[in-house]
């Protein structure tokens, strides 16, 4: 069964701290992996997308890595800010003829000023 | 570019009633997704359309849920009759289609929050 898990479920850090969010997936035959951000009462916003052939992607203070063989991805956030407070979701894409996406449960991040 | 539009934003109904949600994807996006997100969980795909056709509805409870996408643009998701466990946020997303096996980023709407009493 294809499953995606994320740890921790919740995280609270002081402003300015660097942090790492973890995502694990059971089936390594992925097409790509994507990290999303979800603010309360809103939809999801794509942060980074890593193709299966890539090892990492960077955007500003965010860096996502992918290790297909071990079924893991990490999202690194540098110099955290209160505006980073949100739920971060990992989504894995499978399928050949169409995009089958499985989401993890998310990590709720709170950055304390 | 306008984003994915959904309505209504909130809906409260009693169990056994029916409800419908509407989604207007980004212009030119051929692929449309409906997700159910229960509190504390990640979104679960209910149904995926490619233009007018259904490519995946394996997790859609077909005894009570139905969805259609007429003319390959707007889509409607219906629940009839609703159960308490249907309380969730229903998210619509869309993406471009550039050919089989090509993956494009999904763009999400704000969602419809459903409460079944």
pLDDT above 70 for B16? yes
Cβ contact (<8 Å) for A45 and B108? yes
Beta strands in A26-80 (DSSP E): 32-38, 44-51, 56-59, 62-67, 72-77
A interface test, pick of B54, B102, B103, B110 with most A CB neighbours within 10 Å: B103
pLDDT above 90 for A95? no
Q: Which of A33, A45, A34, A48 lies closest to A83 in space, CA to CA?
A: A45
A:10-29 residues touching chain B, CB 8 A cutoff: none
pLDDT above 80 for B101? no
| Most confident of the ranges A43-47, A87-91, B53-57 | A87-91
Q: Which of A3-7, B68-72, B108-112 has the lowest mean pLDDT?
A: B68-72
pLDDT above 80 for B100? no
Nearest-Cα distance to chain A for B23, in Å, is 13
Residue scoring higher pLDDT (A95 or A52): A52
Instruction: Select from B4, B100, B103 the Cβ nearest to the Cβ of A32.
Output: B103
Q: List pLDDT tens digits, range A43-65.
A: 899 999 998 899 999 999 999 99
Helix, strand, coil percent content, chain A, rounded in steps of 5: 5, 60, 40
Q: Indicate the helix (H) or strand (E) that contains A90.
A: strand A86-94
- Three-class secondary structure of residue B68 per DSSP: strand
Nearest-Cα distance to chain B for A22, in Å, is 15
Nearest 5°: the CA angle A113, A76, A73 is: 140
Instruction: Select from A41, A42, A103 the Cβ nearest to the Cβ of B43.
Output: A103
HSE value, Cβ hemisphere, 13 Å, CA-based, for B95: 19
**pLDDT value, residue B99:** 66
Could you tell me the two tokens for A34? 């994507």
Could you tell me the two tokens for A60? 């500003």
- Between CA B20 and CA B14 the distance in angstroms is 14
């Amino acid at each position: 069964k294809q499953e995606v898990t994320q740890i921790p479920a919740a995280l609270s850090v002081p402003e300015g701290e660097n942090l790492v969010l973890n995502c694990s997936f059971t089936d390594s035959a992925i097409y790509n992996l994507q990290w999303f951000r979800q603010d309360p009462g809103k939809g999801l916003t794509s942060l980074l997308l890593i193709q299966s052939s890539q090892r990492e992607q960077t955007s500003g203070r965010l860096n996502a890595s992918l290790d297909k063989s071990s079924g893991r991805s990490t999202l690194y956030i540098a110099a955290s800010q209160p505006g980073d407070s949100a739920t971060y979701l990992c989504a894995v894409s499978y399928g050949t003829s169409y995009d089958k996406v499985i989401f993890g449960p998310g990590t709720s991040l709170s950055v304390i000023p | 570019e306008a984003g994915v539009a959904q309505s209504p934003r909130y809906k409260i109904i009693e169990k056994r009633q029916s409800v419908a949600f509407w989604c207007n994807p980004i212009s030119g996006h051929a692929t449309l997704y409906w997700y159910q997100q229960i509190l504390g969980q990640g979104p679960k795909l209910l149904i995926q359309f490619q233009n007018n056709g259904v490519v995946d509805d394996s997790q859609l409870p077909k005894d009570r849920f139905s969805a259609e996408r007429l003319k390959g643009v707007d889509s409607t998701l219906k629940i009839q009759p609703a159960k308490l466990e249907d309380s969730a946020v229903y998210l619509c997303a869309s993406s471009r289609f550039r050919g089989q096996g090509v993956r494009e980023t999904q763009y999400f709407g704000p969602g419809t929050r459903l409460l079944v009493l």
